[in-house]
Amino acid sequence: MTRVRLTDHLVLILGVLLMMGPLVVAFLTSTHDHVEIHREGMQFTLGAEFAETYATVLTREGGFTGEITGLLMTQNSLILGIGFAVGKIVISMLAAYAIVYYRFPLGTFFFWVIFSTLLLPLEVRILPSYEVAQQLGLLNSYTGLIVPLIASATGTFFFRQFFKSVPDELLEAARIDGAGPVRFFFEILVPLSRTMIAAIFIIMFVVGWNQYLWPTIMTTEEQYFTLVRGIKNVMQQMIGADIPFYNEALAMAVLAMLPPAVVILVFQRMFIKGLVEQEK
């Protein structure tokens, strides 16, 4: 028995090294001077330039136009992450409410239309989606960044499942207590869904924050760049440079992964619940 546990611990420790190692190395390297990195390779110790590098990345007005700072990108990432999560939750809940609690002729049809979005991931319709957004004048706007992403079959299915599990008698009791559709939704159903909403919010925030393809084609003006979107530009600048600013690129990477990582760490239970439930 003891021997088995030892093997398990060994496997897990190797696993942790595999998963966390690259992140730790990335962070450690980002605290060194770029010339030193260029000369000696990635670093395995903490360097002296932590404060300086991160301050530079956060506040320097960089890019081609000199308008964008790390802070602004962080702010854009937050807007995207929160807007994406809130938007998805709101429209999924409304749609699921209609599908579960109303009997209407086209109910099944709408269900299948929502289902069809599973068949059309952004990646397979990227060009025409861009054209549509362009025609609607949505390029370089928060609306254009967020709204096209928030239609969600998984979110709607998730809330549909949850609403279906709410006992019929609760609605009946509420009707006897004089609650109409609107009151029932806001005073009974939404409070009942609180933990579900929180779990989905956490997942969706991470997914939204990590969006890459759509922001890449939708935003060409740097003031709308998110951190994840900005990574690409950092990369392009590095390729051109004699001695690339590895430290700053890695600092950007660390900044881009930190908020979702913290969210997952703090709300771990809820995150796992949301992730596992949502895919069912």
Partner 1 sequence: MTTLRIRDAVKRYPNGVEAVKGVSVDVGDGELVVFVGPSGCGKSTLLRMVAGLEEVTEGEIELSGRVVNALEPADRNIAMVFQNYALYPHMTVRGNLAYGLRNRGTPKPEIAAKVEEAARMLQIAEFLDRRPSQLSGGQRQRVAMGRAIVRDPAIFLFDEPLSNLDAKLRNQMRLEIKKLQRRLGRAAIYVTHDQVEAMTLADRIVVLNGGRIEQVGTPTEVYSRPASTFVASFIGAPPMNLVDAQLDDDGLQVAGQVVAHDSAHRGPVTLGIRPERAHLVAGGAGLDIEVAVVEELGAHRLIHAHLGGHEVTVAQSADEPVPAGRMVLSFRPEDLHLFDRGTGVRI
Partner 2 sequence: MKKAQFNSRWMPYALLMPQMAIIGIFFLWPAAEAIRSSFYLEDPFFGTGTFVGFENYSNVLTDPNYRRSAVFTAAFTLTVVFVSLGLGLLFAVSADRVLRGQQTYKTLLMWVYAIAPPVAGLIGVMLFDQHIGPLTDAAAAIGWNLQIGVDYWDTAVAITVVSAWKQIPYNFIFFLSALQSIPSSVKEAAAIDCRSETRRFWTVTFPLLAPMTFFLMILNTTYALFETFGTVDLMVQDQPGNSPVTLVYKVYRDGFRGNDLGGSAAQSVILMVLVLVLTIAQFRLIERRVHYS
Closer to partner 1 by CB, 61 or 187: give it.
187
Q: What's the Rg (C-alpha) of the chain?
A: 23
User: Which residues in the 199-258 window bind partner 2 by CB under 8 A?
Assistant: 206, 209-213, 216-217, 228, 231-232, 234-236, 239, 246, 249-250, 253, 256-257
Q: What is the smallest separation between the CB atom of 105 and partner 1, expressed in angstroms?
A: 13
Question: d(Cα 185, Cα 165) in Å, to the nearest integer?
Answer: 15
CA neighbor of 156 nearest in space, from 207, 208, 214, 196:
196
Three-class SS of residue 64? coil
User: Which residues in the 84-143 window bind partner 2 by CB under 8 A?
Assistant: 90-92, 94-95, 97-104, 106-107, 110, 113-114, 116-121, 123-129, 131-133, 135-136
Taking a C-beta distance cutoff of 8 angstroms, is the pair 99, 210 a contact? no
35 binds partner 2 (CB under 8 A): no
Cβ burial, residue 257 (10 Å; 0-12/13-18/19+)? middle
247 binds, among partner 1, partner 2, none (CB under 5 to 8 A by kind): none
- Whats the size of the chain, residue-wise? 280
19 binds partner 2 (CB under 8 A): yes
Which tokens go with 44? 């395995």
Q: What is the smallest separation between the CB atom of 198 and partner 1, expressed in angstroms?
A: 14
Three-class SS of residue 235? helix
158 binds partner 2 (CB under 8 A): no
User: Which residues in the 187-206 window bind partner 2 by CB under 8 A?
Assistant: 206
Provide the sign of the torsion angle of the four alpha carbons 82, 84, 85, 90, taken in this order: positive
Cβ burial, residue 155 (10 Å; 0-12/13-18/19+)? buried
Which residue ranges make up the site for partner 1 (CB under 8 A)? 167, 169-170, 172-179, 183, 187-188, 191-192, 194
Stretch of 12-20, 46-54, 61-69, 190-198 contacting partner 2, by CB under 8 A: 12-20
177 binds, among partner 1, partner 2, none (CB under 5 to 8 A by kind): partner 1
232 binds, among partner 1, partner 2, none (CB under 5 to 8 A by kind): partner 2
Q: What is the smallest separation between the CB atom of 186 and partner 1, expressed in angstroms?
A: 12
